[in-house]
Structure 1
Amino acid sequence: MDFAGAYSADNLKFLLDGLYITLIVAFVSIILSFVIGCVIGVIRYAEIPVLSPVMFYLVELIRNLPLLLIIFFVRFALPEVGIKMSLITAAIVALTIFEAAMIAEIVRGGLTSIDKGQIEAARSSGLSSFQTLWHIVLPQGLRRMVPPLVSQFISLLKDTSLAVVISLPELMHNANIVIGHSYSYAIPTLLLAALIYFTVNYMLSVVSRKLENKAV
């Protein structure tokens, strides 16, 4: 084990460059998947004719596919039909598709957990279906969704490492390159990568607990 060589200035900078790509991909994917997932979740909750069933089958299809397959499809299959994108864009698109389906189910579950009596009371007081959803159901549902949403975001951050299969220069990709220079770098490099993932994910967990406590 060569800690000194593995943690040289050049190697550390290279790993941090990979971390930067990881965080960029994760951040953009989180924002996009949250927005898209919320929209799909609300559509499924609202039971809109035709649209809701279509969303149901689409979500179930994506949720039951491995993320790795979706990454390969976006990176290698879509260019065959003229849809070409950069490595980072391909990773973001694949992660967004997969995570949006997961988040849609979290959103739908959170909304359906709201007591029906509150909805009936809101409707009887003169609120429309949309007003009831926006002012009564959604605020309470979102508070209940915080823990599972953050858990999903943590999973998304870890799943960025799967993009190593398309040579995205993220943390694990760069870690593999460092290890390739010398096998004596393997344990130090992997320990550092593990520490980085743990630190970032632990910070997300702390934020989740604080948000959950405020919601109570």
Structure 2
Amino acid sequence: MSDAFSWINLRFLLDGLWVTVQVSIVSIVFSMILGGIAGTVRYSNIPILSRIVSIIVDIIRNLPLLLIIFFTYFALPQIGIKLNIFWAAVAALTIFESAMLSEIFRAGLNAVPKGQTEAGMSSGLTYVQTLILIVMPQAFKSMLPAILSQLISLIKDTSLAVIISLPELTHNAKIIYGQNTNYVIPMFIAMTAMYFVVCYLLSLLSSFLENSKYNY
């Protein structure tokens, strides 16, 4: 059983972990942008547009991520949009996480006292300037721990992309124990350890930011 932890196998698992990290980073960057825009639009109560965005967000939040992964990899090519495995996984995670993050952004913006917006606009700033310069910096500080928690969930959710054969951690572990059934338990132990280390470090960072928030 100790052969399961050979350098070749561990390197293969680390390659999978690196793909997991890459997909997570790219997805969270795009999700932050789209989720931030969607959350701001919903917060601003723009006629018609805010309602449309809210409906789209509610629909996505109530869909299984696995279904979205299937859609981006198998359905999009039917309408002429062909993505490789990596970008199909990124697209699916971005769609799903953007909806989740939009709610975090909206809640964070709502948590800032309305008086801040009124004070900014009374000083001569436009609504957009007030939002960017006054409201968002205050909201983002309170949102950061929740955003990091969502990132932790995203990292774990990448394992669902094994269904489209994305060569991430779970996929590579499956290949290893598929060649030798005696490696099943060692591979699950290795996967558990790797996921735990990455997610635990992020959870520590989230806790640190949460504690720092209350120190101000």
Shift of 1:214: 3.9
2:15 paired residue number: 17
**8 A contact 1:62–1:98 mirrored in 2:** yes
Aligned residues: 214
SS at match of 1:48: coil
Unaligned residue ranges in structure 1 (runs of 5+): none
RMSD of aligned Cα (Å): 1.2
Taking structure 1 as the reference length, the TM-score comes to 0.95
Q: What is the distance in 1 between the residues matched to 2:75 and 2:21? A: 26
Contact between 1:37 and 1:103, CA under 8 Å: does it hold in 2? yes
Once the two structures are superposed, residues 32-63 of structure 1 have per-residue CA deviations (whole angstroms, 9 ceiling, x without a partner) of 10111001111111111221111111101100
CA contact (8 A) 1:143 1:212 kept: no
**1:120-153 per-position Cα deviation (integer Å, ceiling 9, x unaligned):** 2222222221121112210111011011111100
How big is the shift at 1:213? 3.9
Q: Is the 8 A contact 1:161 1:172 kept in 2?
A: yes
Structure 1: how far apart are the matches of 2:168 and 2:155?
Answer: 11
**Is 1:166 aligned to 2:151, yes or no?**
no
- Whole-Å separation in 2 of the counterparts to 1:142 and 1:195: 31
Show the 5 A alignment for 1:42-121.
Answer: 42-121=40-119
Calculate percent identity across the aligned residue pairs. Answer: 53
Amino acid at match of 2:21: L
Unaligned 5+ segments in structure 2 are none
For 2:203, which of 185, 202, 205 is the aligned residue? 205
- Supply the AA of the counterpart residue of 1:11: N
Deviation larger for 114-123 or 187-196: 114-123
